[in-house]
C-alpha cells in the first residue's frame, strides 16, 4: 500500500497532517513515497505537504527514517523549493547519528553553505547550524568565519544572537 498524493491537498488541516504522520510511522513504505513526492522539482503544495508529514513522522518516531538519509539528501537536490528543503532536512536530522556521521563531510559542506548564503531565509541558517553539528565533524575556522560574517550582517537580532552563541560555544570547546 502506498501513500496517496491526493491526501496532500491545499488547505490540509494540521491535525489531519499530523494524523498522516502518525500513520506513516506504522507504514514504513510511506516514508519512501513521501520522500519521492517531496523531490518534485517544481515544488508546490503537494511536495511541501509531503515534506511536512515526513518531518512530523520523523519527530514522532525517528526509527521510521533510519536508512533514509541518502534518499532525503537526493530529494533536497532534486527540488528547488526552500520550504521543502527545510522540512526534509529537519527530518534528516532525526536519522540515527551513526548514519549521519557516515555522510559527515557532505552534511558539513551543506550546513556551511546554508549558513553562508545570504539569499536563504533565517530558518535555513538554523538548519545549516544543526547540519554542521550533526555531521560529527570538527567545526573548523571556516565555520567560525561564516558565522561571524553572517552574524554581523544578520537580518534579525535573534539570528545575530544565535550565531554569537554558537561561536561562543565553539570557542569554549577548544
Q: Do 112 and 73 sit in the same domain of this protein?
A: no
Name the band, by pLDDT with cuts 50, 70 and 90, for residue 2.
confident
More confident call, 121 vs 113: 113
Name the band, by pLDDT with cuts 50, 70 and 90, for residue 141.
very high
- Is the pLDDT at 5 greater than 90? The verdict is no
Mean pLDDT computed over 15-28: 93
Supply the pTM of this predicted model: 0.92
Q: Which domain holds residue 150?
A: 103-174
Mean pLDDT computed over 154-171: 94
Cα–Cα dist 96/53, whole Å: 19
User: Which one, of 97, 84, 5, 80, lies nearest residue 51 by Cα?
Assistant: 84
Q: Are 65 and 94 in contact (CB under 8 A)?
A: yes
Q: Considering 87, 102, 117, which residue would you say is the last residue of a domain?
A: 102
Cα–Cα dist 63/151, whole Å: 35
Q: Considering 102, 127, 155, which residue would you say is the last residue of a domain?
A: 102
Structural domains of the chain, count: 2
Q: Do 45 and 110 sit in the same domain of this protein?
A: no
Cα–Cα dist 37/43, whole Å: 9
Q: Do 97 and 122 sit in the same domain of this protein?
A: no
Q: Do 68 and 119 sit in the same domain of this protein?
A: no
Amino acid at each position: 500500500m502506498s501513500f496517496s498524493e491526493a491526501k496532500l491537498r491545499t488547505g490540509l488541516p494540521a491535525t489531519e497532517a499530523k494524523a498522516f504522520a502518525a500513520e506513516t510511522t506504522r507504514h514504513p513504505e510511506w516514508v519512501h513515497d513521501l520522500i519521492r513526492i517531496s523531490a518534485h522539482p517544481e515544488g508546490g503544495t503537494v511536495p511541501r505537504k509531503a515534506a511536512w508529514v515526513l518531518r512530523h513522522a520523523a519527530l514522532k518516531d525517528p526509527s521510521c527514517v533510519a536508512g533514509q538519509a541518502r534518499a532525503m539528501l537526493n530529494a533536497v537536490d532534486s527540488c528547488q523549493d526552500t520550504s521543502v528543503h527545510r522540512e526534509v532536512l529537519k527530518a534528516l536530522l532525526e536519522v540515527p547519528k551513526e548514519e549521519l556521521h557516515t555522510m559527515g563531510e557532505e552534511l558539513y559542506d551543506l550546513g556551511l553553505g546554508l549558513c553562508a548564503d545570504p539569499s536563504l531565509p533565517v530558518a535555513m541558517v538554523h538548519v545549516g547550524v544543526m547540519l554542521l553539528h550533526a555531521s560529527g565533524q570538527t567545526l573548523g575556522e571556516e565555520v567560525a568565519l561564516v558565522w561571524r560574517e553572517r552574524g554581523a550582517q544578520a537580518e534579525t537580532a535573534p539570528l545575530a544572537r544565535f550565531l554569537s552563541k554558537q561561536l561562543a560555544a565553539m570557542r569554549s570547546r577548544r
